[in-house]
Chain A
Amino acid sequence: MSTVTAPAARVAPAKRPARAIPKGRGGSPVRRAENRAAYLFLLPWFIGLFGITIIPIAASLVLSFTDFDILSPPSWIGLDNYEKLLTGDRRFMNAVDVTIRYVGFSVPLILVFSLTIAVMLNRGLSGLAIYRSLFYIPSLIGASVGIGILWREVFGERGIFNHFIALFGFEGRGWITHPNYALDVVIALNVWTFGASMVIFLAALRQIPNSYYEAASIDGASALQRFRRITLPLLTPVIFFNMVLLTIGSFQSFTQAFVVSRGTGGPIDSTLLYTLYLYQRAFVHLDMGYGSAMAWLLLLAIAAMTAFVFWTARYWVFYGDR
């Protein structure tokens, strides 16, 4: 998009030279050398992919067409699992709904929150390292076993949150165990652990050369202009990265809801995230074939969504190499 690329061109005025690597046919020696080098660099990854990663993935695809209770051999049932999921499973539909709401709120909130704090912490403020570490603490204990207790201390019926709103005359309730609010608490827990995205933003901010800002200062740009014209465009690859991975990760969120609802996804399935339902089906009710089918439906949905985000990226993500 021109608004993004134009200012970037101004701060890095050197004209991009002609493509260093000629886009020759596959037969050109340079091209062949590059091809070979690439595959050599990817060698460990290939070994990992074909030696380790792809085996369980392929197995789960096969299992999704079977009736498999884990403890006895699977039997082939074709598309039955998929058919049941898409036509006759009330809880599945509910889980999809809950998950979409969860992702829809979590991802934008985390992005905005972590970027804001990262930018605030990138200034020459004293005690920066300490601030960063403190903001990161929630992410460190977010998956820990005691976290459910801590959240009950905050949002439970006798929690601090109710004491706080009582000061303003509001009546409290057990937020964690009320079907209308439990999902909000789970989302809050997810947003609370925004530290990972913040750290990635901070690393990206560090990578922006100071010379860009100096050049802009000489041009008389204000702080806001500098943020909009330098920081933001140069951060787009990392914003994109965080967005893609937060989306993929949030669709597969498990621990947050598991911890808050003690593994039930309750009350009345209000926190039944997709993977929590998958886990219940596969490991509590031992219906691994069904669970595998759920996993593959989720993969298709995430893949489609990621492909869409990738497609939009060409309009708003700015890379140094283009």
Chain B
Amino acid sequence: MSARQQSGFGRAYRQICTTVAAAAVAGAIGAQAPASAQEELEGEIRFSWWGGQLRNQKTDQILQLFEEENPSVTVVRENSDWLPHWDKLTIQSAAGNQPCAIQMQTRWLATYAKPDILRPLDDLLEAGELDVRGIAEPVLQSSRGDDGQLYMIPSGVFFFAMMYNKTMLEEAEFELPSDSWTWDDFAQLIRDIAPKLPEGVNPTHNMGREQDSFVTWVQSQGYPVFEGTKLGFPEEVTVEWFEYWEEIRKAGLTDSPEEAIADNGSLIEESNIANGRTFVTNRPPNRLDSHQQVMDAVRPGDQLSILPYPSAEDGTTGMDLGANGIAIGATCPEELVPVAVAWINFFTQDPRAAAIYESDNGVVAVDRFQDEQANGPNTSRGQLEQILIFQEVAPGAKPINWPSGGFAAMTQSLNQAYDAVAFEALTPEEAASQFASEMDDLLN
């Protein structure tokens, strides 16, 4: 890393710190600190979450702290990886046996946000038992169900961006695009940089089938992704998206259709970007460090970085924003609800918990911890960049109001439709109409 960059970061740092501090003060004034419940908590609750080995260890550590502080409380750990977490929750909910504390995500919330599945939290919030100090209002807003009730307390905020190989960019002697770059700028950059990239490197991953990129495109055109349970944008928007990527693909600037499918959702260690086989792609920005780790082993010296998605010609940005958080199961006995509440407060608001978790599942939702983590002595470059970009794009973000099942339907229908285009089985028009009718079928 050059000295120039470092100072650049340093400047941005301080800037962020002041804004964040200001926001924290504002937050503290807005919401008074909850009355600290002094009576001793007791009982056994179940907490279910998803994640791999590393996240399990962190969560377990935080749980141990929580149990130390509340000696009469036991938390039964129910952990599994991503898909089984939802399958299990669905089955448990059908039988009325869901855990007291459940990890939730805004993209799936609508499916479960029903008073007999999850417990509405507004009364607990009003009574000052749940502590939401420092959580931005839009994020809290996205944790509400269709019925307007609050169903989860966000703990980490995730957003979407592009990940690119900074070293390749510099070696090709190109400039980082300006903040307000457009989709055309992106296509132009790809075309220009292609001949200057190392042999065998794809200028870009084909994002035609990528749901994260597509919704950003849709929103940057000024349309909402959903209106209720219907798509909120006309078919032409999809057609243009498909055509945009077909043009780039046919110019030989993307990975092959097979490769694009394999790389979509591949584990970090297998991914093309981390292995230096792609110049730019869409990957979760909160995973920058993990990608860099792999890259350090495979191509020492190369540096990965993240940048916001392009916007429309008129400067409209379209980024989606989501949150992971914790919900309370509707079948949780009333006497155990305080325990679940205490656990949620501990997990989201306790500085030790935040320090252990290190924004592992999205940028920590409470702003004073963002500040702390950005300034922390052990903060990694990836974590810092993640927080910086988050602060930059969060104000303009448009969190999608996912209807029940909308996320799964969107991912699947878009994959299918674009794959058919890329393998030249359907024209962009046919695929777009198939996409629309499939969505309609799945959501209604």
Q: Are these two chains actual partners, yes or no?
A: yes
Q: Mark A residues whose CB is within 8 Å of B.
A: 70-72, 149, 152, 156-157, 173-179, 262-264, 266-269, 280, 283-286
B419 touching A71, Cβ below 8 Å = no
Q: Quick one: given A157-B258, A286-B90, are A72 and B265 in contact (CB under 8 Å)?
A: no
User: How many residue-residue contacts, CB under 8 A, span A and B?
Assistant: 77
Q: Quick one: given A285-B405, A286-B90, are A268 and B416 in contact (CB under 8 Å)?
A: yes
Q: Which residues of B (286-314) have their CB < 8 Å from a CB of A? A: none
Q: Which residues of B (50-80) have their CB < 8 Å from a CB of A? A: none
Residues of B within 8 Å of A72, CB to CB, are 114, 116
Listed A/B pairs (9) with beta-carbon separation below 8 Å: A71-B117, A174-B262, A177-B257, A177-B258, A178-B258, A179-B423, A264-B415, A283-B87, A286-B404
Minimal beta-carbon separation of B167 from chain A (angstroms)? 22
Q: Quick one: given A174-B259, A285-B405, A285-B409, are A70 and B93 in contact (CB under 8 Å)?
A: yes
Complexed CA–CA distance, A232 and B16 (Å)? 79
Q: Could you list 19 further interchain pairs (A-B, Cβ under 8 angstroms) beyond the known A177-B261, A267-B257?
A: A70-B90, A71-B90, A71-B93, A71-B94, A152-B262, A152-B270, A157-B258, A157-B259, A176-B262, A177-B262, A178-B423, A179-B423, A262-B265, A266-B416, A267-B258, A267-B423, A283-B86, A283-B87, A286-B404
B419 touches which of A174, A175, A268, A284 (Cβ 8 Å)? A268
**CB nearest neighbor in A for B411:** A264
Residues of B within 8 Å of A70, CB to CB, are 90, 93-94
B425 interfacial by beta-carbon distance below 8 Å: yes
**CB nearest neighbor in B for A88:** B441
Q: Quick one: given A71-B111, A264-B412, A268-B420, are A283 and B90 in contact (CB under 8 Å)?
A: yes
B93 touching A284, Cβ below 8 Å = no
Complexed CA–CA distance, A140 and B70 (Å)? 44
Minimal beta-carbon separation of B359 from chain A (angstroms)? 26
Complexed CA–CA distance, A57 and B70 (Å)? 45
Complexed CA–CA distance, A112 and B83 (Å)? 36
A157 touching B117, Cβ below 8 Å = no
Complexed CA–CA distance, A203 and B94 (Å)? 43
B415 touching A266, Cβ below 8 Å = yes
Minimal beta-carbon separation of B278 from chain A (angstroms)? 13
B112 touching A285, Cβ below 8 Å = no
Complexed CA–CA distance, A245 and B379 (Å)? 57
B442 interfacial by beta-carbon distance below 8 Å: yes
The 10 closest A-B pairs by CB, nearest first: A174-B258, A177-B261, A177-B258, A177-B262, A267-B419, A178-B258, A268-B419, A70-B94, A284-B408, A267-B261
A156 touching B262, Cβ below 8 Å = yes
**CB nearest neighbor in A for B405:** A285
**CB nearest neighbor in B for A72:** B114
Q: Which residues of B (105-121) have their CB < 8 Å from a CB of A? A: 111-112, 114, 116-117
Minimal beta-carbon separation of B217 from chain A (angstroms)? 21
B256 interfacial by beta-carbon distance below 8 Å: yes
**CB nearest neighbor in B for A153:** B270
Minimal beta-carbon separation of B208 from chain A (angstroms)? 13
**CB nearest neighbor in A for B417:** A268
Residues of A within 8 Å of B257, CB to CB, are 177-178, 267
Residues of B within 8 Å of A156, CB to CB, are 262
Residues of A within 8 Å of B258, CB to CB, are 157, 173-178, 267
Residues of B within 8 Å of A267, CB to CB, are 257-258, 261, 415, 419, 423
Complexed CA–CA distance, A148 and B440 (Å)? 32
Residues of A within 8 Å of B90, CB to CB, are 70-71, 283, 286
Complexed CA–CA distance, A284 and B108 (Å)? 11
Complexed CA–CA distance, A121 and B267 (Å)? 40
Residues of B within 8 Å of A177, CB to CB, are 257-259, 261-262
B415 touching A174, Cβ below 8 Å = no
Residues of A within 8 Å of B93, CB to CB, are 70-71
Minimal beta-carbon separation of B184 from chain A (angstroms)? 29
A268 touches which of B83, B87, B112, B423 (Cβ 8 Å)? B423
**CB nearest neighbor in A for B87:** A283
Residues of A within 8 Å of B442, CB to CB, are 285
B270 touching A149, Cβ below 8 Å = yes
Residues of B within 8 Å of A283, CB to CB, are 86-87, 90
Q: Quick one: given A70-B93, A268-B420, are A286 and B259 in contact (CB under 8 Å)?
A: no
Q: Which of B408, B409, B419, B425 has the most CB of A within 10 A?
A: B419
Complexed CA–CA distance, A266 and B94 (Å)? 29
A286 touches which of B116, B256, B270, B405 (Cβ 8 Å)? B405
Complexed CA–CA distance, A179 and B409 (Å)? 21
**CB nearest neighbor in B for A180:** B423
Complexed CA–CA distance, A63 and B239 (Å)? 39
Complexed CA–CA distance, A268 and B258 (Å)? 11
Q: Which of A71, A178, A283 has the most CB of B within 10 A?
A: A71
Complexed CA–CA distance, A178 and B258 (Å)? 5
Residues of B within 8 Å of A157, CB to CB, are 256, 258-259, 262
B408 touching A285, Cβ below 8 Å = yes
Complexed CA–CA distance, A57 and B420 (Å)? 38
Residues of B within 8 Å of A152, CB to CB, are 262, 270
**CB nearest neighbor in A for B267:** A149
Residues of B within 8 Å of A179, CB to CB, are 419, 423, 425
Q: Quick one: given A263-B83, A264-B415, are A286 and B262 in contact (CB under 8 Å)?
A: no
**CB nearest neighbor in B for A156:** B262
Complexed CA–CA distance, A40 and B415 (Å)? 56
**CB nearest neighbor in A for B261:** A177
Complexed CA–CA distance, A175 and B261 (Å)? 11
> Contact mask B263-286 → A, CB, 8 Å, 1/0?
001010010000000000000000
Complexed CA–CA distance, A267 and B423 (Å)? 10
Complexed CA–CA distance, A173 and B408 (Å)? 29
Complexed CA–CA distance, A180 and B407 (Å)? 28
Residues of B within 8 Å of A262, CB to CB, are 265
Complexed CA–CA distance, A178 and B261 (Å)? 9
Residues of B within 8 Å of A174, CB to CB, are 256, 258-259, 261-262
